[in-house]
Amino acid sequence: IAGITQAPTSQILAAGRRMTLRCTQDMRHNAMYWYRQDLGLGLRLIHYSNTAGTTGKGEVPDGYSVSRANTDDFPLTLASAVPSQTSVYFCASSEVGDADTQYFGPGTRLTVL
Amino acid sequence: GQNIDQPTEMTATEGAIVQINCTYQTSGFNGLFWYQQHAGEAPTFLSYNVLDGLEEKGRFSSFLSRSKGYSYLLLKELQMKDSASYLCAVRDQDYKLSFGAGTTVTVRA
């Protein structure tokens, strides 16, 4: 059982390039999330999806887009990367219930030059 | 939205007890979570509180006071492997989490 996988593990990207970060979960969780983590700021929610076919904006959605075509996959796309998008990106999933916690993937370290 | 505050750093000795405080101001409270994150790794779930009081899980305990907007995580019998960042997170009515910046705990021999 893999849980949540993310790809790539790390990436260096030129500014202006398009990039898709992949996230796949095998726990059949309804909800999935994308966060970025920056030193001193903690985890900030970018986009989320409570169920396949629906998505919502989090705290810092600008410059990012997501899709949720099925339960397992939740890719995050940077249409035109900028240096301020240099960060560690975590994907997470959960059931939507009282005590249900979020489970995190291993993260993608992205550097935009 | 949520405003979540926790200390930036704490240092303690192996075998000791450390208490990490978290205060929050929320527009809709639906539970408080604590996560542990080792350097270079993903956050992992430690505890969950939705009602006032103390939840104990082995060496870790978490306390919540909803009226005061306050929680703490208590780590007992500290071990070197407990050196990590501890994240306080508040869940809203839409089941989204807002995280504090994290508290880095360093355990010294």
Is the CA virtual torsion B71, B76, B82, B83 positive or negative?
Answer: positive
- The answer to whether A3 touches A27, Cβ cutoff 8 Å, is yes
pLDDT over 70 (residue B6): yes
Minimal C-alpha gap between A2 and chain B (Å): 14
For A32-90, write each residue's pLDDT tens digit: 999 999 988 889 999 999 999 999 999 999 999 999 999 999 999 999 999 999 999 99
Name the percent of chain A in helix, strand, coil, to the closest 5: 5, 50, 50
Query: Which whole number is the average pLDDT over B43-70?
Result: 95
- Closest residue, chain A, to B6 (C-alpha): A42
- Return the closest-CA partner of residue A90 out of A17, A11, A3, A21: A21
pLDDT over 60 (residue B1): no
pLDDT over 90 (residue B13): yes
Whether residue A8 is preceded by a cis peptide bond, meaning omega within 30 degrees of 0, is: yes
Specify the pairing of strand B84-91 against strand A10-13: unpaired
Q: Which chain A residues are within 8 Å of B99, Cβ to Cβ? A: 35, 42-44
Say if the Cβ atoms of A104 and B43 lie within 8 Å.
Answer: yes
The set of residues, in sequence order, having a beta carbon less than 8 Å from that of A40 and lying 6+ positions away, is B101
In sequence order, which ranges of chain A are alpha helices (DSSP H)?
Answer: none
pLDDT at A99: 65
Of A33, A94, A105, the CB nearest to B42: A105
Tell me, yes or no, if B87 comes closer than 8 A to chain A by beta carbon. Answer: yes
User: What number of residues does chain A have?
Assistant: 113
Band of the pLDDT at B36, cuts 50, 70, 90?
very high
pLDDT over 90 (residue B28): no
- The answer to whether B67 touches B3, Cβ cutoff 8 Å, is no
pLDDT over 90 (residue B15): yes
Band of the pLDDT at A1, cuts 50, 70, 90?
low
Tell me, yes or no, if B97 comes closer than 8 A to chain A by beta carbon. Answer: yes
Name the percent of chain B in helix, strand, coil, to the closest 5: 5, 60, 40
Say if the Cβ atoms of A43 and B99 lie within 8 Å.
Answer: yes
Rounded CA-CA distance A25/A72 in Å is 5
In sequence order, the β-bridge partners of residue B5 are B23
Q: Which chain B residues are within 8 Å of A102, Cβ to Cβ? A: 33, 45, 97
Rounded CA-CA distance A25/A42 in Å is 23
